[in-house]
Amino acid sequence: MVDRFAHQPTGSATEPANVAAPSTPPSLLEARGLCKSFGGVRAVNKVAIDVPVGQITGLIGPNGAGKTTLFNLLANSLRSDSGTVMFDGSPIQELPAHALARRGLVRTFQVARVLSRLSVLDNMLLATQRQTGETLWKVWLQPGKIASEERRERDRAWEILESVGLAAKAQDYAGALSGGQRKLLELARALMTHPKLILLDEPAAGVNPTLINQICDHIRTWNRDGMTFLIIEHNMDVIMSLCDHVWVMSEGSNLANGTPIEIQRNPRVLEAYLGD
């Protein structure tokens, strides 16, 4: 399993998730002063966030706090009004959205979005980066190279699908999967891009408790293999059990950040969640 992420900058990869590292590892993703307005509404207001290498970082906040907007800004699905985002040492806020996956930053969606009329396997293969066969003319000019790449990637896709328990469904249309299976497919597909950082938007939303545990186990396993995560989640159990560090947003701004324990005891966080 470890070699799957062999290219990773392995910081605290071998440490179990919940043991706090004595000194914080360097940031993989670092956002400063991000702003985004929709008309007169300041959805995200001077928000900063750090995602250290090899850790699972959580992002929580009440509904409407601007978490998903922040996600869209980090993934460049939306353009920020101002602010900087550094990923792996270089600024990315000016890049087009599709360029991020190639650099190793991939996102999932709040409502799992699979490509219905493609097979599960094709959903996986699509996620492969730098495919020769994705260039129009090379389809006719280099069929041999494309075929060998496809074989290699298919093996890798099978391996990942097997690890999440979707191998039996590989040839089915992705649209025929259940909601929970779609969540798993989205995770597996994100992994297929050889990412350095995966942004997960509510991986446990609308999923039954057994499957939540399963998803958490996968995230933990992959994290142990060196993968970095940033997770938005409303399910506090998930956040508390998975995350090394938690950031809290409220009404478009940073409210607090710290370890899960600190966050749980922070009166301002409680106030934001429960009202006064």
Partner 1 sequence: MEGFVVSLVIFTAIFTLFGLGLNLQWGYTGLINFGHVAFMTIGAYTTVLLSLRGVPLWLAAIIGAVAASLLGLLIGFSTLRLREDYLAIVTIGVSEMLRLVAINEEEVTRGTFGLQGFPLPLEDLNPNGFVRLLMMALLTVVIGLAYWQGFRWLRQVWKQSPTSELLSSSRVALGYILSLVLAVVGVGFLSSQLKAGEVLPPWVLGALLLAACVGIVLLFVWLGDRATKRIAGWTTGLSIVIAMIAGLVGIWAFGYSLTALYHYNDNPSKNGLMLLSVLLVALVFLGLDRLVRSPWGRVIKAIREDEEVARALGKNVFAYKLQSLMLGGFLAGLAGALYSWQLTTVYPDNFRPLVTFNAWTIVVLGGAGSNLGTLLGASIFWAYDTITRFVLRDIVPLEDARLGAFRVMIIGLILMVLMIWRPQGMLGKKEELTLGR
Contact positions toward partner 1, by CB under 8 A?
75, 77, 96-102, 106-107, 109, 113-118, 122, 125-129, 131-136, 139-140, 143, 146, 150, 173, 175-176, 189, 193
Task: Give min distance, CB of 16 to partner 1, in A.
Answer: 30
Task: Give min distance, CB of 275 to partner 1, in A.
Answer: 34
Task: Considering the complex, state which of residue 70 and residue 269 has its C-beta at the smaller distance from partner 1.
Answer: 70
Task: Give min distance, CB of 38 to partner 1, in A.
Answer: 18
Task: Considering the complex, state which of residue 35 and residue 126 has its C-beta at the smaller distance from partner 1.
Answer: 126
Contacts of residue 235, defined as CB under 8 A and 6 or more positions apart, other chains included, come to 204, 205, 212
Beta carbons of 46 and 37 less than 8 angstroms apart? no
Task: Considering the complex, state which of residue 81 and residue 122 has its C-beta at the smaller distance from partner 1.
Answer: 122
**Angle, CA of 129, 134 and 135, to the nearest 5°:** 125
Q: Which residues are bridge partners to 60 per DSSP?
A: 248
Q: Which helix (H) or strand (E) holds 21?
A: none
What CA–CA distance (Å, rounded) separates 46 from 44? 7
Rg (CA), the chain: 19
Task: Give min distance, CB of 64 to partner 1, in A.
Answer: 22
Beta carbons of 229 and 57 less than 8 angstroms apart? yes
Task: Considering the complex, state which of residue 10 and residue 129 has its C-beta at the smaller distance from partner 1.
Answer: 129
